[in-house]
Amino acid sequence: MVMLACSIICRNSGGGEETSDWAALEMLLLSVVLLMCLAATDAILFPSICPPNLPNRVPCCPSYNGSACGYDLGRGRCLEVPKPKYPSMDERDAFPSAYYTHMCVCNGNYGSYDCGGCTFNRNGPNCDLQNIVRREARQLTPTELTAYLAKLHYCKTKIDPDYLIMQAGNRLQASSYQFFLDSYYNGWCYEHYYATKPFLNNSREIYITNCAHGSTAFLTWHRLFLLGLENSMQRCLRDPSFALVYCDWQRDPGCAFCNNQYFGANDATGFISPLSIFSGWRSVCGNFDHARTYCLMGNCMCERQPFRRRYGYVDVPKPNKADVDYCLSLGSLDRAPYTAAVNGSFRSCIEGWINRYGQQTSTIHNLWHVYLGGTMSQVPIACNDPMFVCHHLLIDK
């Protein structure tokens, strides 16, 4: 794995007014924290072979073919995890330094917690093959579509033995942290939840940004996040050629995928039709709106709340191709102050903060989330709806 030290740049708590330039810079720096953290851990945080033992830190350099991190085979090295330069109350500061003293740093295209696998979008004995091709959902034959949906469902229910997710009754009390196995899909979805938690610093919660949204990191963070799901699915299915499928909604009058042929029809209350394979899907971290806890929920799937979708019952317009074309016409990837709504910024436009008329309103990515309603409109847990995946794959395209 590629390990990068993640550092939250904290404000000086000695008082005084912040300048607008510093506030903007802080937002940009904060937003890339979990982008780097995900790169550090193959997009899943806690290898089960190295369960964290808070408040103590533990080494995590598992052996691969007889040597730590496959060192004797030239696959990787065991290196110390740098501690944060400016420690804060947030355990994600310089992640994963709060949990681990050492971790594997993989060479070249090698990857995984022990460097025994390949990095994203690579496979083969030497991790030098690249053969993943993503298709639009309507390009699949009926047989291919049925198989794809079944594979998603299988990996939603199949427990991933290699990685853990975390719960905590109090983020400030190490004794309340618990780690447990969950499914391949849920372990991936947990990362989105983890990235959206407010930062804790000097006994206060910082909501001005999160690791995945509202700044320059949005596109790259989600690209890495989606590659993480593809990798998890490949491990789950033992199929290195598995590719995710995107949904191109640009020219559709409505949601062509919100039916039982694809990702499930919904009723007025948001429940998914029992005729859909997705009607039994339960949300990981469904009770998300508690800033100082992590993922309080039942460990049994049956105790968790189902995801909901309210397509057809939310009174907002649908984004369209003209909106996307306007974003593509912009010449700048991003502009200062690199915050949510920035005129002339492709990232701000495609993320959906400013429309093609220069108005600050939901559009493109953000508007599609609102348009579908239900769980999709609840940012921390939106990935519990399988429509999240095919929507974000279009944005990534």
> Considering the entire predicted model, what is its pTM?
0.90
What are residue 277's phi and psi, to 5 degrees?
-65, -20
One-letter amino acid of 295 = C
Query: Read out DSSP for 99-113?
Result: TEEEEEEE-TTEEST
Name, of 2-16, 83-97, 227-241, the range with top average pLDDT.
227-241
Q: Are 69 and 102 in contact (CB under 8 A)?
A: no
User: How confident is the model at residue 44, as a pLDDT?
Assistant: 62
- b or e along 146-163 (b: 16 or more beta carbons within 10 Å of the residue's beta carbon)? eebbeebbbbbeeebebb
Give the C-alpha distances (Å, rounded to integers) separating 46 from 50, 95, 282: 7, 11, 22
User: Of 95, 5, 98, 103, which is closest to residue 50 (Cα–Cα)?
Assistant: 103
Please give the Cα distance from 326 to 291 (Å, whole number).
36
pLDDT exceeds cutoff 60 at 343: yes
User: How confident is the model at residue 301, as a pLDDT?
Assistant: 76
Give the confidence band of 192 by pLDDT, cuts at 50, 70, 90: very high
> Structure tokens of 314?
């939310």
One-letter amino acid of 232 = S
> Structure tokens of 65?
């073919």
Helix (H) or strand (E) holding 47: strand 46-47
Average pLDDT for residues 389-397, to the nearest whole number? 97
pLDDT exceeds cutoff 80 at 378: yes
Give the confidence band of 210 by pLDDT, cuts at 50, 70, 90: confident
Percent of the chain at pLDDT exceeding 70: 89
Give the confidence band of 198 by pLDDT, cuts at 50, 70, 90: confident
% helix, strand, coil for the chain, step of 5: 30, 15, 50
Q: Are 196 and 211 in contact (CB under 8 A)?
A: yes
Residue partners of 187: CB distance under 8 A and separation at least 6: 44, 160, 163, 164, 165, 232
Q: Are 158 and 184 in contact (CB under 8 A)?
A: yes
Please give the Cα distance from 114 to 386 (Å, whole number).
30
CATH class of 20-396: mainly alpha
Give the C-alpha distances (Å, rounded to integers) separating 133 from 87, 150, 154, 236, 247: 42, 19, 21, 18, 14
pLDDT exceeds cutoff 50 at 5: no
Taking only the tens place, the pLDDT of each residue in 264-323 is 999 999 999 999 999 999 999 998 888 889 998 877 778 899 999 999 999 999 999 999
